[in-house]
C-alpha cells in the first residue's frame, strides 16, 4: 500500500514539474503561419511555442474583416517579413505640426522601442514643409544620436519647387544612420506663408516616397512604409561563442553572419542554398541549371550539384589518335595557334593605340577643366599682381596624387557633406591638408567668385587663420590645399572629458581672443571683407601650442565694399545660426558676431548647444545661459572642469560680452572689432593681475608632449555633432580616423 502511495506521489510531482516547465519554441507545421496574405515565418509566431522569443510575437487582428498583422503588443503594422535578409517591412507613423497650432512642436509616437529591432540604413528621413526643422532623436548602443534637416521656401509660389527633389526647398531628406534603435521624430515649424502652415516628417524605405509640390498643400498620409532589421538576442550568444549550443539557430546549411557586429547574431543560407536560415534543414539546394542562374557558356553542359553546379565543355570525346579525324584536329589546333599569335599582336597594337589616345584625351580634358575652373583667370591675376602678396600655388594632378599616395584611403583624415580631406606630403616635406569638394557650380559668376576667393584667401597672412597654400584646377572639381593643423578642434577640447580638464580658463580666454582677432581681421582688415558664415567650435582648429586657427571657408561670402549686407540662401549650423539672418535671409557681419557669442557660451559652460536630454528650460543653452546672468546664477551653468567656487570678475565680463553678442537684433550687437578689443583688454588685465598665467616655452612644450599631435579633422556639415574623434596621447591610444574637418 505504501509503495502505491509513493508511486502516485512521484507521478503527481512529475506532472506538476512538466506543467511548470517553460514553453519551448517549435518550428513545426502545427503553428499557424499566415495572417491574410502575409506569411509568418519562424522565428516569428502567433502563439506560445511558435516563436523563438517574445520579441518575435506577432498578433493577427481579424476583427475588421481584413486581417491586419501587428508586431507584439504594439500598433506597429507589418507588411512583409524577410528572414533570409533578417528584415521586416512595417508602416511607420508620420509626424505633423502646424504653425498656427497651440504647440508648434510635436513628437510622433515612440514608433520603435524594441529590443531586437533597428531602423535599416536603406531608409531615408523626409521632412515636408516651409521653414521647417525636423530631427530624428534615437539611440545607437548607449549613445544618443540627433540628426535632421531643414526645409525652406522662398515665397508662396510653388511653381519654383522641383518635383521629385528633396534638396531643401519644400522638402529635405537624409539617410538614416546605421544601427539606430529607440527613436522619435521631433518637428518644428516657423511657416507663416500662405501655402499651408503645416509640416510633416517621416522615415520611409528607399523608393517608398516621391516628393510632389502638391504635398505642401495637402499631405494626408498618416503612415509610410519603412524597413527594420533584427537579430537573435539570446543572452550573450554570438557567432563566435554559440556554434556548439543546441539552441543555436544557424544549423545545417545555414551559417552565422560573421560580418554582423551588433548584439546577438544573424543567420543566412550558404551560397547555393535558399530558404529560411533560422529553421534547421530549411536551406535547400538551388538548381542553378534549371533556374538559369549559372554562368556556363551556351556551348557548355550545366550539371547541378549540391550547393553548386559544374560547367562541362563539349569536346572530341571518343576520338583516338589513329582515327581519320586526328589530322583534321591537329591542323585545326595549329591554325588556332597561328590565329592566337596574330590576335595577341593585334591586341597589343590596339592597346598601345588606345592608351595613347586615352593619354591625349586626358590632357585635353585636363586643359578643359583648367579653363572651366578659371585657371587662366587665376594665372593672369597672379602674373598681373606687381607685389608678391598672391602666393597661391597651382598644383598639377600628378603632384597631388603623389602627395596623397594616389589618394590612398589611409590618407583620409575627414569626410563630410562638402567633400573629403586627405593628408598629403609635398616634395619639400611640408605636410598639408588637401580638400576635394563634392559640389561645384559651373556658372561664370561662381567661377569668378571662386577664383577671387582663392586669390584673397591666399593673401591672408594671419597667424590665427588657416593658410590656403594653393589649388588644383585640372579636375572637374577643384581641389584646395591648406596648411596642416595637428591637434584637433576646439569642439573636441571642450567636450572630450580628458582634454577639457587640460584647458584652463586662461587657455580658453586666449583661444577666444585669438579667434575674435581673426574674425575681426576678416571683417575689417582684409582687402575685401569676408563673412565666415559658419563660426562654431568645430571650425576652430587648435595647434600643438594651443594657438587657435579659424578654418572652413566653404560657406564664406565676400562682401563688396559698397554693401553692408548680402541676400543669400540661409546656410550654417543649427544652434549657431543668427536668428535675424534666418528670418530675413540678409547676411551681415553681425551674423558672425552672434555665432561667436554661441561659441563663448559653449566654452564657458562646457555643454553642447543642442541636447534634448536636458530639462526643457535648459535645452536651449543660449537662453538658459542668458537667464543665469539675469538671475545671478551664473556659477551653476559654468563648466565644472573650471573648478570654481565663485565667479571671477573676468568670467563675468566675458559672459556679459557673450550676452551682448546674442542680442536678437543685429544692430544691438557689438562689431567683431569691438569684441576683439574687449577680449584683449580682459586678457591684458589677467596678465597684469596674475603674471604667471602666461605660458612659458617649457610649459608649452610640456602641453605638447601631454596632448600629442593628432592627425584627425572634422569636416562638419549637418552630420552628427555628438561625434568627436580627436584624442590626445594622454586620453586614448591611437585610433582609426573618423569624420574630420576644418578644411573646405
CA 250/CA 246 separation, integer angstroms:
10
**Phi and psi dihedrals of 394, rounded to 5?**
-90, 105
- With respect to residue 351, please indicate whether it lies within any of the assigned structural domains: no
Look at residue 308 and tell me if it is in a domain: no
Q: Are residues 116 and 139 in the same domain?
A: yes
Q: Is 385 inside a domain boundary? A: yes
Q: What is the predicted pLDDT for the residue at 563?
A: 61
Query: What is the sign of the dihedral through the CA atoms of 338, 340, 343 and 347?
Result: negative
Q: How far apart are CA 735 and CA 744, in angstroms?
A: 24
Residues annotated as part of the active site: 534
Q: Distance between terminal CA atoms of the chain?
A: 95
End of a domain among 195, 211, 230? Answer: 230
Neighbours of 422 (CB within 10 A): 24
Please tell me the total count of domains within the chain.
4
Residue 594 has a pLDDT of 96
DSSP secondary structure code for residue 467 in this structure:
P
Q: Look up the CATH number of the domain holding residue 207.
A: 2.60.120
Measured in whole angstroms, the distance separating CA 668 from the mean position of its chain's CA atoms is 37
Residue 500 lies in a domain: yes
Quote the pLDDT of residue 591: 92
Res 554: pLDDT: 65
Structural domain boundaries enclosing 394: 375-483
Strand duo 68-71 + 223-230: pairing? unpaired
CA-CA distance, 441 to 554, in Å (whole number)?
13
Residue labelled with grid coordinates 579633422: 713
Residues 535 and 656 in one domain: yes
Q: Which residue has the cell 519554441?
A: 25
Give the separation between CA 590 and CA 671, rounded to whole angstroms. 7
Q: Is 341 domain-assigned?
A: no
Angstrom distance (rounded) from CA 618 to CA 625: 9
Reduce the DSSP state of residue 177 to 3 states and report it: coil
What whole-number distance in Å separates Cα of residue 633 and Cα of residue 646?
Answer: 11
**Contact yes or no for 147/136 (Cβ under 8 A):** yes
Residues 586 and 610 in one domain: yes
513, 570: one domain: yes
409 and 467, same structural domain? yes
Residues 28 and 159 in one domain: no
Residue 311 falls inside a structural domain: no
Spatial separation of the C-alpha atoms in residues 715 and 211, rounded to whole Å: 29
Quick one: pLDDT at residue 702? 31
- Regarding whether 6 and 66 lie in a shared domain, the answer is yes
DSSP of 88-154: EEEEEE-EEEETTSS--EEE----B--SSEEE-TTEEEEEESSSEEEEEEEEETTEEEEEEEEEB-S
The cell for 1 is 500500500
The Cα 163–Cα 382 span in angstroms is 44
**Residue whose cell numbers read 535648459:** 618
Final residue in a domain of this structure, among 230, 257, 288: 230
Question: What pLDDT does residue 131 have?
Answer: 85
Residues 540 and 523 in one domain: yes
Question: Which CATH number is 633's domain given?
Answer: 1.10.510.10
Q: Positive or negative, the Cα torsion across 462, 467, 469, 472?
A: negative
Regarding whether 667 and 625 lie in a shared domain, the answer is yes
| Helix, strand or coil, per DSSP, at residue 471 | strand
pLDDT along the chain (744 residues), means of 10: 41 37 52 91 91 90 86 82 92 84 54 76 90 85 85 73 86 87 80 73 91 86 90 86 78 89 90 92 91 80 88 52 49 83 91 87 84 80 60 86 91 74 91 78 63 75 88 85 88 89 91 94 82 89 91 70 60 85 88 95 92 81 91 90 89 94 94 94 78 42 35 37 31 37 46
Shared domain check, 567 and 473:
no
Domain boundary among 171, 199, 230: 230
pLDDT for res 732: 43
137 domain residue, yes or no: yes
For residues 694 and 699, what is the distance between their CA atoms, to the nearest angstrom? Answer: 9
Tell me whether residue 43 is in a domain: yes
How far apart, in whole angstroms, are the C-alpha atoms of residue 657 and residue 688? Answer: 21
Claim to verify: residue 478 and residue 503 sit in the same structural domain: no
The CATH number that applies at residue 469 is 3.30.200.20
Q: Verify that 115 and 179 share a domain, yes or no.
A: yes
Amino acid at each position: 500500500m505504501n509503495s502505491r502511495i509513493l508511486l502516485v506521489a512521484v507521478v503527481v510531482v512529475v506532472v506538476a514539474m512538466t506543467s511548470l516547465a517553460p514553453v519551448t519554441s517549435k518550428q513545426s507545421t502545427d503553428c499557424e503561419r499566415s495572417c491574410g496574405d502575409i506569411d509568418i515565418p519562424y522565428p516569428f509566431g502567433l502563439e506560445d511555442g511558435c516563436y523563438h522569443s517574445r520579441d518575435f510575437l506577432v498578433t493577427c487582428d481579424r476583427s475588421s474583416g481584413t486581417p491586419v498583422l501587428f508586431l507584439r503588443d504594439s500598433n506597429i503594422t507589418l507588411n512583409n517579413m524577410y528572414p533570409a535578409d533578417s528584415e521586416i517591412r512595417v508602416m511607420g507613423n508620420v509626424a505633423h505640426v502646424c504653425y498656427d497650432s497651440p504647440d508648434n512642436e510635436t513628437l510622433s509616437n515612440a514608433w520603435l522601442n524594441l529590443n531586437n529591432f533597428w531602423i535599416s540604413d536603406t531608409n531615408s528621413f523626409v521632412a515636408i514643409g516651409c521653414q521647417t526643422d525636423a530631427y530624428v532623436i534615437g539611440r545607437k548602443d548607449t549613445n544618443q544620436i540627433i540628426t535632421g534637416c531643414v526645409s525652406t521656401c522662398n515665397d508662396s509660389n510653388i511653381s519654383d519647387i522641383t518635383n521629385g527633389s528633396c534638396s531643401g526647398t519644400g522638402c529635405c531628406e537624409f539617410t538614416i544612420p546605421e544601427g539606430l534603435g529607440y527613436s522619435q521624430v521631433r518637428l518644428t515649424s516657423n511657416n507663416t506663408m500662405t501655402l499651408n502652415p503645416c509640416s510633416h516628417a517621416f522615415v520611409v524605405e528607399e523608393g517608398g516616397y516621391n516628393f510632389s509640390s502638391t504635398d505642401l498643400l495637402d499631405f494626408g498620409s498618416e503612415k509610410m512604409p519603412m524597413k527594420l532589421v533584427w537579430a537573435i538576442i539570446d543572452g550573450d550568444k554570438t557567432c563566435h561563442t554559440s556554434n556548439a549550443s543546441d539552441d543555436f539557430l544557424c544549423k545545417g546549411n545555414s551559417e552565422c553572419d560573421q560580418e554582423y557586429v551588433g548584439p546577438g547574431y544573424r543567420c543566412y543560407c550558404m551560397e547555393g542554398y535558399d530558404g529560411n536560415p533560422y529553421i534547421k534543414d530549411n536551406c535547400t539546394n538551388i538548381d542553378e541549371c534549371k533556374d538559369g542562374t549559372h554562368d556556363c557558356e551556351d556551348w557548355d553542359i550545366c550539371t547541378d550539384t549540391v550547393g553548386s553546379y559544374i560547367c562541362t565543355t563539349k569536346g572530341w570525346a571518343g576520338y583516338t589518335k589513329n582515327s581519320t579525324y586526328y589530322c583534321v584536329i591537329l591542323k585545326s589546333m595549329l591554325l588556332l595557334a597561328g590565329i592566337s599569335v596574330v590576335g595577341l599582336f593585334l591586341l597589343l597594337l590596339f592597346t598601345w593605340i588606345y592608351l595613347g589616345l586615352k593619354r591625349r584625351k586626358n590632357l585635353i580634358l585636363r586643359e578643359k577643366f583648367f579653363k572651366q575652373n578659371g585657371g587662366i583667370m587665376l594665372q593672369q591675376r597672379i602674373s598681373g599682381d606687381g607685389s608678391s602678396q598672391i602666393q597661391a600655388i597651382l598644383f598639377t594632378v600628378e603632384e597631388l596624387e603623389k602627395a596623397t599616395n594616389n589618394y590612398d584611403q589611409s590618407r583620409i583624415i575627414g569626410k563630410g557633406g562638402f567633400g573629403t580631406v586627405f593628408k598629403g606630403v609635398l616634395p619639400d616635406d611640408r605636410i598639408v591638408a588637401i580638400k576635394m569638394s563634392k559640389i561645384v557650380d559651373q556658372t561664370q559668376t561662381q567661377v569668378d567668385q571662386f577664383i577671387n576667393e582663392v586669390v584673397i584667401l591666399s593673401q591672408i597672412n594671419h597667424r590665427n587663420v588657416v593658410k590656403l597654400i594653393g589649388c588644383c584646377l585640372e579636375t572637374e572639381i577643384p581641389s584646395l590645399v591648406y596648411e596642416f593643423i595637428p591637434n584637433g578642434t576646439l569642439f573636441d577640447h571642450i567636450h572630450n572629458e580628458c582634454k577639457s580638464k587640460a584647458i584652463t580658463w586662461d587657455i580658453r580666454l586666449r583661444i577666444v581672443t585669438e579667434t575674435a582677432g581673426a574674425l575681426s581681421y576678416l571683417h575689417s582688415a582684409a582687402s575685401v571683407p569676408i563673412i565666415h558664415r559658419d563660426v562654431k567650435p568645430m571650425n576652430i582648429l587648435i595647434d600643438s601650442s594651443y594657438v587657435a586657427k579659424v578654418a572652413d571657408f566653404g560657406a564664406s561670402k565676400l562682401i563688396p565694399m559698397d554693401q553692408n549686407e548680402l541676400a543669400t540662401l540661409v546656410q550654417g549650423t543649427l544652434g549657431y545660426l543668427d536668428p535675424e539672418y534666418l528670418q530675413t535671409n540678409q547676411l551681415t557681419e553681425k551674423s558672425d558676431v552672434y555665432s561667436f557669442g554661441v561659441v563663448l557660451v559653449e566654452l564657458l559652460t562646457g555643454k553642447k548647444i543642442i541636447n534634448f536630454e536636458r530639462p526643457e528650460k535648459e535645452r536651449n543653452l543660449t537662453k538658459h545661459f542668458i537667464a543665469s546672468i539675469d538671475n545671478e546664477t551664473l556659477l551653476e551653468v559654468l563648466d565644472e572642469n573650471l573648478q570654481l567656487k565663485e565667479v571671477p570678475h573676468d568670467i563675468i565680463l566675458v559672459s556679459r560680452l557673450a550676452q551682448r553678442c546674442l542680442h536678437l537684433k543685429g544692430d544691438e550687437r557689438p562689431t567683431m572689432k569691438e569684441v576683439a578689443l574687449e577680449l584683449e583688454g580682459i586678457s591684458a588685465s589677467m596678465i597684469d593681475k596674475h603674471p604667471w598665467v602666461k605660458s612659458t616655452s617649457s610649459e608649452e612644450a610640456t602641453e605638447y608632449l601631454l596632448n600629442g599631435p593628432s592627425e584627425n579633422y572634422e569636416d562638419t556639415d549637418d552630420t552628427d555633432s555628438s561625434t568627436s574623434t580627436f584624442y590626445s596621447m594622454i586620453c586614448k591610444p591611437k585610433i582609426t580616423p573618423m569624420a574630420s574637418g576644418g578644411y573646405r
